[in-house]
Amino acid sequence: MNIIKSLKENSFADNEISKESLLHEITNCKACLLHQTRNNAVPGTGPIPCKIMLIGEGPGEKEDSLGEPFVGRSGKLLSQMLTDNGIKREDIFITNIVKCRPPGNRDPQKEEKKACQNHLIKQILMVKPSILVLVGSPSMKFVLDNKLTITKSRGEWLYEQVRYMDQPLAIMPLFHPSYLLRFSSKEAGKPRWLTAGDIQEIKKKRDEKIDDHY
């Protein structure tokens, strides 16, 4: 099922998307082979409900050992950049497309992402974000079901009407922090500088959004 399409429809009953049932479902999930090699499933962290929800691709080694998303080197850079640009990490809900680490940090396969997507849809319906941040190209392509490039799409707002709120959901793709670790120059026009500006835009959007479902 397409992620955005399923957010427009009544895809799941309310009793299927409680925090406890979803946590149990994810930590006990064996719907794809990644369950065989995980140390910990990484469901996600953050307040529920929450205005900003951030979605990456999948857990790495550190995330797998701690059961928390974005806690390795690139996660630390992301947290620092969020803080530097006015967003506290603890104020956003952070998760990934797949909840279990692909062995050797390989990319998650198409079937693994498909197997895990109902967890993600339920999480979005549970967290009810008004802003969705898609971190990295695979996350953007999977959630939006498109073939756009991250270079062209990052920093651009897209809007989709979803069933859990009156205003459209605002969606922004961002460069992945692992890419920013490789290209670390803060010079104007470089990826890191662009991402700092994108986070400031997200903060601005969060501050101006007054939603009745929080």
Contacting residues toward ligand SF4, per CB under 6 A: 26, 29-32, 34-35, 41, 98-100, 112, 115-116, 119
- Residue from 73, 61, 78 nearest 176 by CA: 78
Q: Compute the distance between CA of residue 99 and CA of residue 113 in angstroms, rounded to an integer.
A: 9
Q: Which is nearer to ligand SF4, 41 or 71 (CB)?
A: 41
Q: Compute the distance between CA of residue 181 and CA of residue 192 in angstroms, rounded to an integer.
A: 9
User: Helix H segments across 73-190?
Assistant: 73-84, 110-127, 137-144, 150-153, 177-182
What minimum distance in Å lies between the beta carbon of 123 and ligand SF4? Answer: 11
Question: Which strand (E) or helix (H) includes residue 151?
Answer: helix 150-153
Q: Which is nearer to ligand SF4, 55 or 77 (CB)?
A: 55
What minimum distance in Å lies between the beta carbon of 160 and ligand SF4? Answer: 24
Q: Which is nearer to ligand SF4, 126 or 172 (CB)?
A: 126
What minimum distance in Å lies between the beta carbon of 26 and ligand SF4? Answer: 5
Q: Compute the distance between CA of residue 8 and CA of residue 10 in angstroms, rounded to an integer.
A: 7
The structure tokens listed for 27 are 């930590």
Burial class (CB in 10 A: 0-12, 13-18, 19+), 182: exposed
Q: Which is nearer to ligand SF4, 62 or 205 (CB)?
A: 62
What minimum distance in Å lies between the beta carbon of 58 and ligand SF4? Answer: 8
Q: Which is nearer to ligand SF4, 25 or 198 (CB)?
A: 25
What minimum distance in Å lies between the beta carbon of 97 and ligand SF4? Answer: 9
What minimum distance in Å lies between the beta carbon of 29 and ligand SF4? Answer: 3
Q: Which is nearer to ligand SF4, 135 or 199 (CB)?
A: 135
Question: Which strand (E) or helix (H) includes residue 34?
Answer: none
- Residue from 136, 176, 122 nearest 3 by CA: 122
Residue at 142: amino acid letter? F
